Amino acid sequence: MHTIVMTGATRGIGRVAVDRIISDDPEAHLVLLAREPGGSTLARRLASTGRQVTAINTDLLSMRSVRNATARLLEQFASGRLPPLRTLVGNAGLQFTNNTTATSDGLEATFAINVLANHVLIRNLESAFRTPARIVITVSDTHFGDFSHNLGMVPAPRWQDPGTIARIGAFPHPDTVAAGRAAYSTSKLAAIYSIHEFARRLPEDITITGFNPGFVPGTDLARDAGRMANFAMRRVLPLVAFTPLATSKSVAGQYLAQAALGDTPATTGAYINRGRAERSSDESYEPVRERQLWDTLEQLAHQHAR
Ligand SMILES: NC(=O)c1ccc[n+]([C@@H]2O[C@H](COP(=O)([O-])OP(=O)(O)OC[C@H]3O[C@@H](n4cnc5c(N)ncnc54)[C@H](OP(=O)(O)O)[C@@H]3O)[C@@H](O)[C@H]2O)c1
């Protein structure tokens, strides 16, 4: 037996992936790090099929909550209540309609969940991995910043000092949707930088990859975007999934499960575009930025999550 820890399993792409993971990996004890009541409800439903699934109440927007969740996990690994940790899937993510949403730690919310939470999860759980082990983080092709990847819906990333991106008001006209979406594409670029830096620092037998599902209409990612945009994301844009421009939720979930189960060939640091390792944007290979971001994340983690 081994443990798979997963975030973002309660809805959207992750909800599809979780079914495939438990059906294809009968040796897995799945731990869902999720908000309540969604996490426990899903864990109970999956466990009723005879599988080992538990939930730990975790709000990834709160570094205290992330720290408490990893402390509970470490305790359960140490006492043998959980089998050894082999896989971490960091799939949870959010997109906001502004760049002014602050967490209880005073951090910008997009950055806090899409970048810092994964950093803290990996750093706090690093010692618990039983190798060979695998980490998969969901990123996004919006980090490319061009029309063929963002369909004109999400502005290109605007890289700045990571300490600035971590705070509200880093993007022009911060109370606009454009600023919220620029924060999103920038956070996903940051997530790729973070993956590259981890790939250099983690032991060789812990691989880390980024997973891009493509544009997946029909999930709840735009739930903060108001009734019209939400209606479009849930009801109209799913039709786009029948074109090559987008991925359906069920296909995206299968791809995420494949990456999590190690069925997609990829070396550490790779960018998995749907079902294949490919090159991410030219801008996403910047060792100086990667190092600066690492330093900022370490500082924030010490301040808020250790
Ligand atoms: N949809 C797309 O077009 C697209 C494209 C590229 C990348 N992505 C990425 O794919 C991933 C999954 O997104 P999705 O489209 O499937 O969106 P979704 O339907 O909104 O699912 C998001 C997941 O993240 C969890 N989550 C959100 N905030 C959380 C918090 N504070 N604490 C704990 N868990 C939290 C949600 O849990 P709750 O049930 O508690 O809300 C849910 O399980 C994200 O990283 C997203 O950025 C999506």
Decide: 183 and 170 in contact? Cβ < 8 Å. Answer: yes
Sheet holding 276-278, edge to edge: 53-57, 28-34, 2-7, 85-90, 129-138, 206-212, 271-273, 276-278
Whose tokens are 């090159």? That residue is: 279
* Nearest atom, ligand 1, residue 38 CA: 39
- Give the Å distance between the CA of 80 and the centre of ligand 1: 30
* Nearest atom, ligand 1, residue 8 CA: 43
**How far is CA 129 from each of CA 86, 124, 192, 196, 257, rounded to the nearest angstrom?**
6, 10, 21, 19, 19
- Euclidean distance between CA atoms 196 and 190, whole angstroms: 10
pTM: 0.96
CB neighbour burial string for 115-134, b if at least 16 within 10 angstroms, e if fewer? bbbbbbbbbbbbebbeeebb
Structure tokens at 29: 């004890």
Ligand 1 binding site (Cβ under 6 Å of any ligand atom)? 7-14, 34-35, 38, 58-61, 91-94, 113, 138, 140, 213, 215-216, 219-221
Q: Which of 5, 10, 13, 248 to mutate to test the pocket of ligand 1 (most atoms within 8 A of CB)?
A: 13
* Mean pLDDT of the 263-275 span: 98
The helix/strand/coil state of 277 is: strand
User: Is pLDDT at 226 greater than 70 in this prediction?
Assistant: no
- Give the Å distance between the CA of 222 and the centre of ligand 1: 9
* Nearest atom, ligand 1, residue 139 CA: 7
- Euclidean distance between CA atoms 60 and 35, whole angstroms: 8
Domain 2-304: CATH class, spelled out: alpha beta
What does the pLDDT look like over 198-218, one tens digit per residue?
Answer: 999 999 999 999 999 999 988
pLDDT at 125: 98
Strand stretches in the chain, DSSP E: 2-7, 28-34, 53-57, 85-90, 129-138, 206-212, 271-273, 276-278
* Mean pLDDT of the 133-137 span: 98
CB within 8 Å of 41: residues ≥ 6 apart? none
Higher pLDDT among residues 261 and 245, named by residue: 261
**Minimal-distance CA residue to ligand 1 atom 40:** 35
Beta strand pairing status for 206-212 and 271-273?
parallel
> Considering only CA atoms, which of 213, 208, 183 is closest in space to residue 193?
208
> Considering only CA atoms, which of 227, 220, 306, 211 is closest in space to residue 264?
211
- Give the Å distance between the CA of 115 and the centre of ligand 1: 13
- Give the Å distance between the CA of 8 and the centre of ligand 1: 5
- Give the Å distance between the CA of 79 and the centre of ligand 1: 31
**Minimal-distance CA residue to ligand 1 atom 46:** 93
Instruction: Give 240's DSSP letter.
Output: G
pLDDT band at 232 (very low <50, low <70, confident <90, very high): low
